[in-house]
A and B are shown apart, each in its own frame.
Chain A
Amino acid sequence: MRKKKGYFGRFGGMFVPETLVPFLEELEKAYLLVKSDKKFKEEYGYYLKEYAGRPTPLYFADRLTKKLGGANIFLKREDLLHTGAHKINNTIGQILLARKMGKTRIIAETGAGQHGVAVATVSAKFGMECVVYMGEEDIRRQALNVYKMRLLGADVVPVKSGAKTLKDAINETLRDWVTNVKNTFYILGSTVGPYPYPMIVRDFQSVIGREAKSQIKRIRNNNSLILIACVGGGSNSLGLFYPFLKDKNIKIFGVEGGGMGVNSDKHSATIIKGNIGILHGSKSLVLQDSDGQIKIPHSISAGLDYSGSGPEHCYLKETGRVTYVSATDKEALRAFHILTEIEGIIPALESSHAVAYALKIAPKYSKNTNIIINLSGRGDKDIDIVAEAEEQKI
């Protein structure tokens, strides 16, 4: 038996039906080849810059900083990217990989719809057939994104099983994939799933952290640094964190969806509250009951509403390198308003969780500390939800 690979500590692995194993091995090989291929990197870099709009600014939020009266707050503006969130970094990389592997059909899951839109977008751009699975409940919550995906030519398939959210959409995508694996490439949207996906998604998203690193260096002060990002499956957070992990002086916080509170049963704080299990192809921390059935999570943000977590995040929790905290629905909503009113930036509800935690800790620090918040997406898609939560009519 070959040596176990694809593990982050005791998390990760490749727990899938046999039908998919040969594809995952092929994917790993193809990815490791392109990873060191100069031409691929150039092409990927070209699309990131010219198509997606990278680099994104590291913006000094001066009014928010002043209001909180503590650390300097910087926003990594992934919300300014084409399609409105960091998701495009990964979908461009994966569709180039799919093309390289000769696949002609793209499938994907989506929760908030941001990943779905990013997949539909690159599928349109590269002329590939695209099917997106989305829970019925999320389709209701994210009507605008559904319409966008359809405009882009994607077939959006409603998923009616389970809680009809992200977890169920992933199940259905896996079922499609196991059926059509020969011509189909699954563009997974987060640092979850079987190996090599958690690694591939992390690598494609690491552009966030690499840019932030060189941008914060240019500020030329000797301030200590704190990173904050929201964690659902974990792609925007790991993308920001990964290039900084080795520098142990940097404090890193991952903010999970606290829902109605992590001590209620309505939250999606998987890393804080979950325990080890197998979901969607990898071993990670999972919200489950005492019989090993997966629990239905809750978060006001569809992008955080997931019962699983990325295996590398679980590892970073266990080693203590990253501290995982949570923000409730209420705190996220408050942060949403504050950023909108003070900086004129409407954040996605996912990113609002990261902002919420910054609001909490920034006042405890002085001007000698810089905080980078990953503003992973913009809030246009969430306007209806915010209005609904606050019983406002648009």
Chain B
Amino acid sequence: MNRITKLFRDVKKNKRKVFIPFMTAGYPDLESTVKLISALEKGGADLIEIGIPFSDPIADGPAIQASSVKALENGVTLKWIFKTVHKIRENVKIPLIFFSYLNPIMKYGLEKFFRDLKKADVDGVLIPDLPPEEAEEIKTFAEKYDIATIFFVAPTTSNKRMRFIETISDDFVYCVSVTGTTGTREKLFSKTKPYLMKIRSILKKPYVVGFGISTAEDVKKISEISDGVVVGSAIIKFIEKYKDSKLLSKKLENYIRKLKKPIK
């Protein structure tokens, strides 16, 4: 059984919530990626989303865009990321998911990509510009190499379509909290609550909520009507703020612990 399936089984059994931090690979620099991912785990991450930088990230807001630009300037490539994940896996035991736009994956070669995910012991992929209608080929390779493919539902998704997406999303469904790109938002909970209540009555699979979650308060409220949360831009902003500190990874670990506290 893969790590993600196991995680959500445990979540269900113990009635707990998952905390999923996001981090752009190769940001703020190449050297710190291994240490920072490890800090996310130590801080209490249940699963980590590793962002694969792309030149044209249409689903991302300013913070993650800027981190992708920086990572690309640092020379990040998929090849480097795979190599780095091998190192990460020496001590990080929780599930890892790649968050990547489709183009870098296609250029790398679909089959090669999934084969290398398997080799690097990565558990799943999230592809923001891949709707289920276009996913047939990807699913074939993902299944061949036993990699979970997670799909999104959004506030614009109809009930019928949500049920369809649920059937093809492995292990869990990723709910986009509000229409828009990634990035922190004011008054997120009140904006997203009616939609999350609706989802709760429709989806049978576990679902996590992402986009715009930035405070422990958001984490607390949103996890009350979901199985967990994803925090991305807020973490990138935190790293940006302390990137020159020698204690960055320790600070990040404490920050994650603080964010996760309400659902511990």
Interface residues of A (CB under 8 A from B): 1-2, 4, 13-23, 161-162, 167-168, 171, 174-175, 178-182, 276-281, 286, 288, 290-294
Contacts and interface: CB of A to CB of B under 8 A. Distances in A.
B56 A294 contact: yes
Contact of A16 (B69, B131, B132, B165): B131
B104 A293 contact: yes
Given A1-B136, A168-B56, 6 more contacts: A20-B156, A23-B156, A171-B57, A182-B156, A292-B78, A292-B104
A185 B17 CA distance: 38
A19 B210 CA distance: 13
Contacts of A16: 58, 129, 131
A14 B131 contact: yes
A293 B129 contact: no
**Chain A to chain B: the 6 pairs with minimum beta-carbon distance, closest first:** A292-B107, A292-B104, A179-B180, A19-B154, A18-B152, A293-B55
Which interface residue of B56, B78, B155 has the most chain A CB atoms within 10 A? Answer: B56
B103 A292 contact: yes
A104 to B, nearest CB: 16
A17 B157 CA distance: 11
B134 A277 contact: no
16 contacts: A1-B133, A14-B131, A17-B58, A17-B59, A17-B152, A20-B156, A21-B133, A179-B180, A278-B106, A279-B103, A291-B79, A291-B104, A292-B78, A292-B104, A293-B55, A293-B104
B176 interface: yes
B109 to A, nearest CB: 10
Interface string B118-162: 000000000011111110100000000000000111111110010
A171 B131 contact: no
A294 B129 contact: no
A277 B103 contact: yes
B181 interface: yes
B77 interface: yes
Contact of B133 (A2, A161, A179): A2
Contacts of A14: 131, 133-134
Which interface residue of B78, B105, B179 has the most chain A CB atoms within 10 A? Answer: B179
Given A181-B156, A278-B102, A293-B54, A18 B107 contact: no
A162 B56 contact: yes
A281 B129 contact: yes
A290 B56 CA distance: 15
Contacts of B69: 161
Nearest to B151: A18
Contacts of A168: 56
B225 interface: no
A306 to B, nearest CB: 12
A14 B130 CA distance: 8
Contact of A17 (B65, B133, B154, B168): B154
Nearest to A281: B129
A181 B179 contact: yes
Interface string B222-263: 000000000000000000000000000000000000000000
B133 A174 contact: no
Contact of B156 (A19, A171, A280): A19
A180 B136 CA distance: 29
Interface in B27-74: 54-59, 61, 65, 69, 72
A23 B105 CA distance: 26
A171 B58 CA distance: 5
B133 A4 contact: yes
A320 B90 CA distance: 52
A34 to B, nearest CB: 22
Contacts of B131: 14-16, 18, 21
A57 to B, nearest CB: 40
A178 B60 CA distance: 10
Contacts of A178: 58-59, 179-181
A16 B54 CA distance: 15
Contact of A288 (B61, B107, B132): B107
Which interface residue of A168, A171, A179, A291 has the most chain B CB atoms within 10 A? Answer: A291
A17 B129 contact: yes
Contacts of A171: 56-58
B61 A15 contact: no
Contacts of B168: 1
A23 B156 CA distance: 8
A15 B102 contact: yes
B156 A174 contact: no
Given A178-B59, A294-B103, A15 B134 contact: yes
A276 B137 CA distance: 16
Interface string B91-112: 0000000000111111110000
A133 to B, nearest CB: 12
A286 B103 CA distance: 10
B179 to A, nearest CB: 5
Contacts of B79: 291
Contacts of B128: 17
B35 to A, nearest CB: 24
Which interface residue of A162, A182, A279, A286 has the most chain B CB atoms within 10 A? Answer: A279
Contacts of A21: 131, 133, 156-157, 161
Which interface residue of B57, B107, B161 has the most chain A CB atoms within 10 A? Answer: B107
Nearest to A296: B55
Contacts of B61: 175
Contacts of B155: 19
A17 B101 CA distance: 10
